[in-house]
Structure 1
Amino acid sequence: MTTELPGGGRGDDALVTTTSPLFADSATDRRIPRRWVVSWALWDWGGAAFNAVITTFVFTVYLTSSLFVDPAVVSAKNAESGTSGPAHTAYDAAVAVLSSGLAWGVGIAGIVVALIAPVLGQRTDGSGRRKLWLGVNTGVVVLVTALMFFVVGQPSYFLLGVALVAIGTIFYEIATVNYNAMLVQVSTPKTVGRVSGFGWGAGYLGGIVLLLIVYFGMVVGDGGLLHVPTENGLNIRIIALIAAAWTLVFSLPVLFTVPEIAPNARTPRVGFFASYAVLVRDIGRLWKESRNTVLFLIASALFRDGLVGVFTFGGILAQGTFGFTSGQVIIFAIAANVVAGVSTLLSGRLDDRFGPKAVIVTSLVGLIVAGLAVFFTHDLGAAAFWVGGLVLCLFVGPAQSASRTFLARVTPAGREGEVFGLYATTGRAVSFLAPTLFAIFVAVGGAQFWGILAIVLVLAIGLALLLPVRAPRRA
C-alpha cells in the first residue's frame, strides 16, 4: 500500500515505495514514518532563520546600511540639497564598499566550504555519524548567530559582522551537506520530489513566520510593537538572538527522530588529510560509473550560484536601487517567501511526474526572463521590483528543490554524504562568481542595478551547461 506526503492523501503513518538501486535498503519495500519526513523538514523550517534573517533580508542588509558608513559621509549626504551631488556620490561609493566587503567575506567562506565539504561528507558516510555531525554543525551556527548580537551599528564593528556571517555560512553549508544526504533516508524513488519540495517549502514558510514575528515585534514603526530601541541597531541585534533560538528549537526533532545511518564498510578509515587521496580516487570512479552525475554537478554549480545571488543581493538591491526602507524589505521578504514556498510545494509533484530536469530548465528560463525585466524596468521604481522580484521568487524554490532531487536520483546508495559534499563543493568552488561579477557590473555600469545582469548571466551559463545532461530515470 502507498501513502502520500503529509497532508496529501491516504492516511496511515508511512510512505511505502517501489525499489531502486540508487537508494539505500532498495532490496525491499521501505516504510518511512511520516514523523521522519516532518522532523527532517523542520530542520529546513529552522534553517530559515539563517537563510532569510541573517544572510538575506535582515542582518546583511543591516551590515550594508548607513550605520556602518562614516558618520561624516552620512551627515554630508543628509545636508546636501536634492538627491544627487558629490556627497550623495561619496555615500553611494561607501555603501558599495560595504557590499563588496560582505561579498568577499562570503566568497572566502565559500572557498573553505569547497575545500572541506566533500571530505567531511565522505567521512560521515564511512563512520555512520551523519546525524551527529548535523547536530554539531547546526550547534555552531546557533552559537555564531547569537554572537551577532554584539555587532553594534558602528563602522568599527563591520568586520566583526562580516566574519560572523562568513563563519556561520561555513558551518551552515556543512550542516546542509549532512541534511541533504538524509533525503534518501526519509524518501523513496517515488516520493523524493515531493519530500524534497516539502522540505524546501517548509523552509520558506518558516521564513515567513519568523519574518512576521521580527517585523511586527522589532522593526515596524519605532522598534516594533515591543518598542525596542533602534540606536546602534539594537533591534536588529536582538533579532539575531531570536534567529539563534529559532534554529536551535526546530533543529532538534530530526536529531531525536530519524535514525542514524549504518557505517559504510566500503569507505576506508583514514586520517583527515589522507581522505583527500581517497576523494580523488572516488571522483575518478564516479566519473567512470556515473559521468552524468559529474556533469550535473558542474552545471548545477553555476545555476545554483545564480540562485543564491538572487536572494543574497535581492534585499540589497531593494534598498539601494529601488528605495525600500528596512521595514519594506522585510515586507517584501515575507511576500517573497509566500510565493517561493507555495511554488516549491507544488513543484514537488511536478518533479515526481515530469522529472527534475524539466522543472529546473523551466525555472531557469523563468528566472532569466524575470531578471531581465527587472533590469530594464528599474526606472519604474518599487513597483517594478515588487512584480519582477516576486516572479523571480516563483522560480527559485522549484529550481533549488529539483536540483537536490536530481542528485538524489542519480547518487549510488551509500555515497550520499560524499556526493552531496561534492554538490556543496562544486557550488562553492564558483561561489565567488556571482558576487564578483555583481561587483564588476556595478563598477562598469556605474549603478547598483547593473549587478542584476551579472546574476542573469550566471543563470544563463548554468542553463546552457545543464541542457546536454541526461535526465535521471523516474520511479
Structure 2
Amino acid sequence: MSSQRGDAGSQVGDRPVSSHHDEVRARRRRMLGWAMWDPGTQPYASVITTFVFSVYIVSDSFGPRDLTSTALSWTMALAGLMIALLAPVVGQWAGRAGRRIGVLRWLTWALAVFAGCLFLVEARASYLTLGLILLGVGTIISDVASSIYNGLLDEVAEPSKVGRISGLGWGMGYVGGIIALLVIYIGWIKPTIGWFGVTSTNGMNIRVSMLFCAVWILLLTLPTFLILRDPPRVEPVAGSPRSLRDAYVELGHSVSRLWRSHRSIVLFLIASALFRDGLNGVFQFGGVIAKQTFGFTSAGVLVFGIAANLVAGVATIAFGLLDDKIGPRRVIVWSLVALIVAAVAVFILHDGGQIVFWVLGMAMCAFVGPAQSASRSYLARVCPPGMEGEVFGLYATTGKAVSFLAPLLFGAFIAIGHAARGGDSNQYWGILGIAVVLVAGLVAMIPVADAVRPDVEHSGKE
C-alpha cells in the first residue's frame, strides 16, 4: 500500500510514527509553498497579458486599431518563439544543476521588475514600442519560469496525488486572478478618481495597476521561496548537461527514448503542445477582441475577465468529475470541438453586439479550463511508473514548443481581413487564427489512445 517513490517522503517503513507525521507535515508544507506561486504570478497573466495592459496597449491612444492589434500579435509571436527555444532546456538545465528554486526565484523577481516597468508606458503612440518590448520580455520570463514551476510538481506531490495537487495550484491561480482583477477594478478602473487620487489621465490608472501587480508578485510568491529550497550542491552526475547546448541534446535523447518505449505519450505531447497554445490564445486575445470589435470599455473588459475566471474555475471542477467517468481524452476532444464552434460563431456573429461576446466568450471560457485540467489528468493516468519525472518534465516544456503559433496566426488573419475588407476594425478575424490552432490540436488527438496506465493495461486488469 505504501508508495515506492524513491524520495525521503515516501520511505516510512520502519521509522517511528512521529517521524512519519513530520514527513507528512513537511510534504504538505512543500505542496502549499509550490501552489502559492500560481496565484502569486497570476496577475501577469490575468491583468497584464489578458484583460488590462494588453487591452490598454491596443487602445486608440497608441494608433490605428489594426496596426496596434497586429503589432501586439507579432510581439507575442516573437516572444513565443523565444519561449519555444528557451523553456524546454532552461528548466532541464536548472534541474540537472540542482538550481531549480534559485533560477525560479530570480525569474520571478525579474517578472515583478518588468511588471513594474510597465508604469512607464504613457498613453501615447510614441510609447507603443516601449510597451510592447516590456510586455514581450516579461512574457518570455513568465513562461520560462512557469515551465520550471510545472516541472517541480513531481517533486512536491506523490504520484497518486499529482492531479489533485495540480488542480490545487490551478484553482488557487484562478482565485488569485479574480481577486487581483477585483482590486484593480474597484481601486482604479471603475471610479472617476481612484485610490490615492489616481485618475485615468494619460493612462495613469492602468499604469498604477502595473505597480500593484509588481508588488503582488513579490509578496505572494514569498511563501514559495521561504518554504522550497534547492538541495545541497553536489557534483553533477556523469553525462549531465553542463550548458544549455548539452540540455538541448539531452532533451532530444529523452524524446527519442520515450518514442521507442511509449510512442502514444509522445503523440499526446505533440497534440497537447498544439491545443494548449490555442487555449492560451483564447484568453490572451479575448480582451483585445472584446474591446476593439465588440466595443467593451476597459471597465467592461475587466468585469468580463472576472466572470471568465470564475466560469473557468467552476467548469474545471465540474468537468473534473466527468473526467473520472468518461476519461480525460473525451473531455479534451469535446472541449476542443466546443471551442472551435464558439470561435467560428464569434467571427460570424461579430456584429451582433456585446451580448454575443458575453454568451460565446463565457462558453469558450467554460471549456478552456477543463481541457487544460484533463490534459494533465491524461498524462498522470498513462505515465509509466517510475517515469513521472521525465514525462512531466517533457509535458512542462513541450507545452511551450509552439507558443508562437496562436499569436502569429491571430495577427496573420487580421492582416488577411484588413487586405480583404480594408478599414480599421478587423480584429475579429484573428479568432479564426486561434481556431486553426485548435483544429490542428484536435486532429493531432485522433491517433491518441484512451488513458490506460501501462501497468494496468499489461496486467489484464480493468
Fold conserved between structures, TM > 0.5: yes
Provide, for residues 146-182 of structure 1, a one-character-per-residue CA deviation record: whole Å limited to 9, x for no partner.
1111111111111111011111111111111111112
Write the deviation string for residues 278-305 of structure 1: whole angstroms up to 9, x where unpaired: 3333332232233223212211121112
Q: Which residue of 2 aligns with 1:150?
A: 120
Displacement, 1:65?
0.5
1:11-64 Cα deviation digits (max 9, x unpaired): xxxxxx86477x977975894743333332221112221001100000010000
Select the residue among 348, 351, 355 that pairs with 1:383: 355
Does residue 1:107 correspond to 2:82, yes or no?
A: no
Q: Which amino acid aligns with 2:394?
A: V
Pick closer, same or farther for the CA change 1:354–1:128 going to 2, 3 Å. farther
* Structure 2 counterpart of 1:326, from 285, 298, 306: 298
Correspondence for 1:428 among 403, 410, 414: 403
Paired positions, count: 434
In the alignment, is the contact (CA less than 8 A) between 1:142 and 1:247 conserved in 2?
yes
**Structure 1 counterpart of 2:18:** none
- Report SS of the residue matched to 1:160: helix
User: What does 1:331-342 align with in structure 2 at a 5 Å threshold?
Assistant: 331-342=303-314
**Bigger Cα displacement from structure 2, 278-287 vs 144-153:** 278-287
For 2:169, give the aligned amino acid.
G
Are residues 114 and 272 of structure 1, via their aligned partners in 2, closer, same or farther at CA, if it must alter by over 3 Å?
A: same
Q: Is the 8 A contact 1:139 1:248 kept in 2?
A: yes
Please provide the CA RMSD for this pair: 2.7
1:460 aligns with 2:432: no
Q: CA deviation at 1:385?
A: 0.8
Cα contact 1:300–1:427 (8 A) shared by 2? no
**Structure 1 residues 122 and 390 mapped into 2: Cα distance closer, same or farther (>3 Å)?**
same
Q: Tell me, yes or no, if the aligned pair for 2:406 and 2:437 is still in contact at 8 Å.
A: no
**d(CA) in 2 for partners of 1:189 and 1:417?**
11
Q: Does 1:214 align with 2:190?
A: no
- 259 and 370 in structure 1: CA distance in 2 versus 1, 3 angstrom threshold: same
When structure 1 is superposed on structure 2, of 25-34 and 465-474 the one drifting more is 25-34
Hey, what's the Cα distance between the residues in 2 that align with 1:292 and 1:381? 44
Q: 2:35 is matched with which residue?
A: 41
| Paired residues for 1:124-163 under 5 Å | 124-163=94-133
Q: How far apart are residue 386 of structure 1 and its match?
A: 0.8
- Would the alpha carbon gap of residues 122 and 375 (structure 1) be closer, same or farther in structure 2, given more than 3 Å must change? same
2-structure distance, mates of 1:18, 1:200? 27
- Flag the 1:267–1:241 CA change in 2: closer, same or farther, 3 A: farther
Between the aligned partners of 2:255 and 2:47, the Cα distance in structure 1 is 36
3-state DSSP class of the match of 2:160?
Answer: coil
Q: Which residue of 2 aligns with 1:51?
A: 45
Distance 2:391 2:228 in 1: 16
**Cα deviation, residue 381, structure 1:** 0.5
325, 341, 347: which one aligns with 1:369? 341
Distance 1:281 1:342 in 2: 39
Give the secondary structure class of the aligned counterpart of 2:198: coil
Rounded Cα–Cα distance in structure 2 between residues aligned with 1:299 and 1:47: 27
| 8 A Cα contact 2:192 2:199, kept in partner | yes
Q: Residue in 1 aligned with 2:153?
A: 183
TM-score (norm 1): 0.83
Instruction: Tell me the SS of whatever aligns to 2:29.
Output: helix
Q: Which whole-Å deviations, capped at 9, do the CAs of 1:170-208 have from their partners, x for residues lacking one?
A: 111111111111222233333322322222121111111
Q: 1:63 to 1:143 in 2, by over 3 A?
A: same
| Counterpart check, 1:439 vs 2:414 | yes
Q: Distance in 1 between matches of 2:100 and 2:320?
A: 25
Per the alignment, residue 273 of structure 2 pairs with 301
Deviation at 1:222, TM superposition (A): 1.8
Distance 1:45 1:220 in 2: 23
Residue 257 of structure 1: how far off its partner (Å): 2.1
Identity of aligned residues (%): 42
> Which residue among 161, 166, 170 is the counterpart of 2:140?
170
Between the aligned partners of 1:183 and 1:45, the Cα distance in structure 2 is: 15
Distance 1:244 1:194 in 2: 29
Match of 1:345 in 2: 317
Is the aligned partner of 1:251 residue 2:251?
Answer: no
Give the structure 2 partner of residue 81 of structure 1: none
CA-to-partner distance for each residue in 1:218-237, whole Å, 9 max, x for gaps? Answer: 01142435541212111111
Does the CA-based 8 Å contact 2:290-2:296 persist in structure 1? Answer: yes
Task: Spell out, residue by residue over 1:410-468, the C-alpha distance to the aligned partner (whole angstroms, 9 max, x if none).
Answer: 37244367514532442326355443444345335533222222222221221111121
1:280 and 2:249 are equivalent in the alignment: no
